[in-house]
Amino acid sequence: MNSQPAVPAETKPESTWKQTLWSYVMLLLIAGTIILLDQITKEWVRDNLAYGQSFIPWPDIAPYARIIHWRNTGAAFGLFQEGGGIFMILAIVVGAMIIFYYPKIQKEDWALRMAMGLQLGGAVGNLADRVQHGHVTDFVSVSNFPVFNIADTSITFGVLILLVGVWFGSGEEKPAEKPGDSQPNDQPTTPQGL
């Protein structure tokens, strides 16, 4: 008779490998969707609008929003122009950190998983532009707000989801009780003051 306890399924190397693989599949689905949408829309803008040219699909929105072919050599929303090289390095570092850290996130923490996927997709989308064209193609112009693209929006929503997740998840979590950890109180309880 074998007296050694059985190894729980979740700690078996095979199970851990499958969980890691599944984590990366989810990351690639989220980030890949963003990258695809970002690159398709930017390509459409580059193919159909000359630099600086606007497109307004509905005249009623003209005072508030338009599509314009714009170039950005800085950060999201046109910040820090001419810093493209720094932002290429930063995107690579952030992407590598997300890829490394992602499997360590608890599978129940969907907000952090979504935030990381959105940020990776946005970072890679803009990085692809910098590598291919030397600048990022922006095209969404809303009122007086700086021109942006889907990758910028994805990064922004990723940060917002992360902040909301931290804000609402900042309460101290109690460790889960394991079966057999609780000890029954054999002493009878009496009301206070008696």
Residues annotated as catalytic are 138, 152
Q: What is the pLDDT of residues 42-52, one digit of tens each?
A: 999 999 999 99
Q: What is the pLDDT of residue 61?
A: 85
Q: Look-up: residue for tokens 């007086």? A: 144
Distance CA 49, CA 59 (A): 17
Spatial contact of 67 and 143, defined as CB atoms under 8 Å apart: no
Please state the rounded mean pLDDT for residues 16-43.
Answer: 91
φ, ψ dihedrals at 128, nearest 5°: -60, -40
The two three-digit tokens of residue 176, written as one number: 């889960």
- Longest pairwise C-alpha distance within the chain: 87
Q: Which long-range contacts (CB under 8 A, 24 or more apart) does 165-169 make?
A: 165/109, 165/111, 165/112, 165/115, 169/109, 169/111
The two three-digit tokens of residue 75, written as one number: 């950060």
Q: What is the pLDDT of residues 26-36, one digit of tens each?
A: 999 999 999 99
Whether the pLDDT of residue 141 is over 80: the answer is yes
Please state the rounded mean pLDDT for residues 153-157.
Answer: 95
Q: What is the pLDDT of residue 2?
A: 56
Strand segments, DSSP code E, in the chain are: 54-55, 65-72, 136-142
Q: What is the pLDDT of residue 174?
A: 47
Percent of the chain with pLDDT over 70: 73
Identify the three-state secondary structure at position 192: coil
Q: What is the pLDDT of residue 13?
A: 58
Q: What is the pLDDT of residue 51?
A: 95
Whether the pLDDT of residue 194 is over 50: the answer is no
Q: What is the pLDDT of residues 69-120, one digit of tens each?
A: 999 876 655 555 555 577 788 889 999 999 999 988 888 888 899 999 999 9
Whether the pLDDT of residue 59 is over 60: the answer is yes
Give 31's contacts (C-beta < 8 A, 6+ positions apart): 117, 118, 120, 121, 124
Q: What is the pLDDT of residue 82?
A: 59
The two three-digit tokens of residue 30, written as one number: 């989220």
Distance CA 155, CA 124 (A): 10
pTM for this entry: 0.72
Q: What is the pLDDT of residue 33?
A: 97
Q: What is the pLDDT of residue 14?
A: 61
Spatial contact of 103 and 20, defined as CB atoms under 8 Å apart: yes
